[in-house]
A and B are shown apart, each in its own frame.
Chain A
Amino acid sequence: MTMHDHIAKGWTRDQMAARAAKELRDGYYVNLGIGIPTLVANHVPAEMTVTLQSENGMLGIGPFPTEDEIDADLINAGKQTISELPHSAYFDSAASFAMIRGGHIDLTVLGAMEVAENGDIANWMVPGKMIKGMGGAMDLVAGVKKIIVVMEHCAKDGSPKFIPECTLPLTGRNVVDMVITDLAVFQRPDHQSPFKLIELAPGVTAEDLAAKTTAHYLV
């Protein structure tokens, strides 16, 4: 240990995605959000079959295409070109959200601006800034069986993002099951229970974490 060991080291974006990937199970149908959540796809264990859903109407997202394979009719929800797999299936947007809202998707990994200690999530608008819309985020948090948020522990200005009560307009009320940040992992067994700290990132102490978190959680 050096004199700098009080500086929390934490996880990189890719390590956060790898941590989220540990929640995958064989046979899961999973929807990944844009940003860090997309990286989770790179960490699916080789022996596991995980089918990725794209809310614009596809199950079985393949890797990015080669230059020759690019197809304007084949994109993901982030509007990036993708490829298909032997078991892929296409469907329309109403069917896509029927499977999301109807509880047929096992897991979603999303980014967030704020998560509250009661499981509220805010990730779609900042008052005073141009509103671009919620896309499918409200449907996902309302319908998917397990909701994992992956986000930086603090905002760019250093303020905590896991807080007692959301200050931004909500995407969903009491919906988050697990929060993975660059510093720690919090989880709760059901929507009536408080979050519990279950893991600290390397080099992060419980005191570091407490100093950077305003939400209440069990240790």
Chain B
Amino acid sequence: MAQKLYPSAEAALEGVLKDGLLIACGGFGLCGIPERLLDAVRDSGVTGLTFASNNAGIDNEGIGKLLRTKQVKKMISSYVGENKEFERQYLSGELEVEFSPQGTLAERMRAGGAGIPGFYTKTGVGTLVAEGKEVKEFGGEDYILEAGIFADLALVKAWKADETGNVVFRKTARNFNVPAAHCGKVCVVEVEEIVPVGTLDPDCIHLPGVYVQRLIVGSPYDKKIEFRTTRTTDVG
């Protein structure tokens, strides 16, 4: 089997990065974002990128870092708050934004990865999201046609993988990482730990190795929290 494990994020992206790519990126807020790979994309200097990603990071975190260096031409996202540089570029017209409802965005990635170029959904019927899209009636209800996303590259953050690329995620850090991985022509995954082949339970693989072309270990991680909320007393 071809070697999937690379020594660094830079090495894992070699020969894959170029200007104008469509990149599907995992993460929800700062949870489960492929930070090592995003740093490497920034350092490579490629520009004119389109990112399909639920969020655009925050100032100086996640995709926010690539906005600062003006490497991003367009975002396909469902929510882009909490980011001043994003706001500045968006309002000045430097950055193009396509808003896609969160579930529609996830399904567009999943569909692209499943070889489905379009699907009909109720989400967004009668709203601005439906503008310019085909409307079709099924069983007396209206649905709109949404397009699958076929990305040139997927950037994914996971918990553990074996060297064949079988991947396991942890808690809510799974989020968009799975659909993003599915829709990338090339999928690069950064993990916290590589474990020996045979130690992951085959019944509990979240992303089978067929979807994963390249792997790196990104540890140690200092995971960021956007809103640290705690309780002091016991809740029943």
The count of residues in chain B whose C-beta lies closer than 8 Å to any C-beta of chain A is 58
A122-150 CB mask vs B (1 if < 8 Å, else 0) is 00010000111111111100110000000
Q: Given A72-B223, A170-B127, are A133 and B99 also a contact pair (CB < 8 Å)? A: yes
What chain B residues lie within 8 Å of A132 (beta carbons)? 79-81
Cβ-defined contact, B31 with A94, below 8 A: no
Give CA–CA (A160, B26) in the complex, Å.
40
Q: Across the interface, which residues of A come within 8 angstroms of B97, CB to CB?
A: 131
Query: Of the candidates A75, A143, A173, which one forms a contact with B31 in the assembled complex, judged by CB atoms under 8 Å apart?
Result: A75
Assess the A74–B103 pair: CB atoms within 8 A.
no
A residues 77-135 touching B (CB-CB < 8 Å): 77-82, 84, 90-98, 100-101, 120, 125, 130-135
Using an 8 Å CB-CB cutoff, how does the interface string of B75-109 with A read, 1 for contact, 0 for none? 00111110000010011000001010111101101
Residue of B nearest to A67 (CB): B230
Instruction: Establish whether residues B81 and A56, one from each chain, have CB atoms under 8 Å apart when the complex forms.
Output: no
A interface residues, how many (CB within 8 angstroms): 56
CB-CB under 8 A for A72 and B91, given A136-B101, A136-B102, A142-B125: no
Known contacts A92-B206, A131-B99; is A63 also within 8 Å of B227 by CB? no
Determine whether B8 belongs to the interface, using a CB cutoff of 8 Å to chain A: no
Say whether B34 faces chain A, with CB atoms less than 8 Å apart: no
B99-130 residues at the A interface, CB under 8 angstroms: 99, 101-104, 106-107, 109-110, 121-129
27 A-B contact pairs sorted by A residue (CB < 8 Å): A46-B236, A57-B28, A57-B174, A67-B230, A70-B230, A73-B31, A75-B29, A75-B225, A79-B30, A81-B227, A81-B229, A92-B178, A92-B206, A96-B106, A101-B103, A101-B107, A101-B123, A132-B81, A133-B81, A134-B79, A134-B129, A139-B102, A139-B104, A142-B123, A170-B128, A172-B125, A172-B127
Q: Which residues of B contact A (CB under 8 A)?
A: 28-32, 54, 77-81, 87, 90-91, 97, 99, 101-104, 106-107, 109-110, 121-129, 159, 169-179, 206, 223-232, 235-236
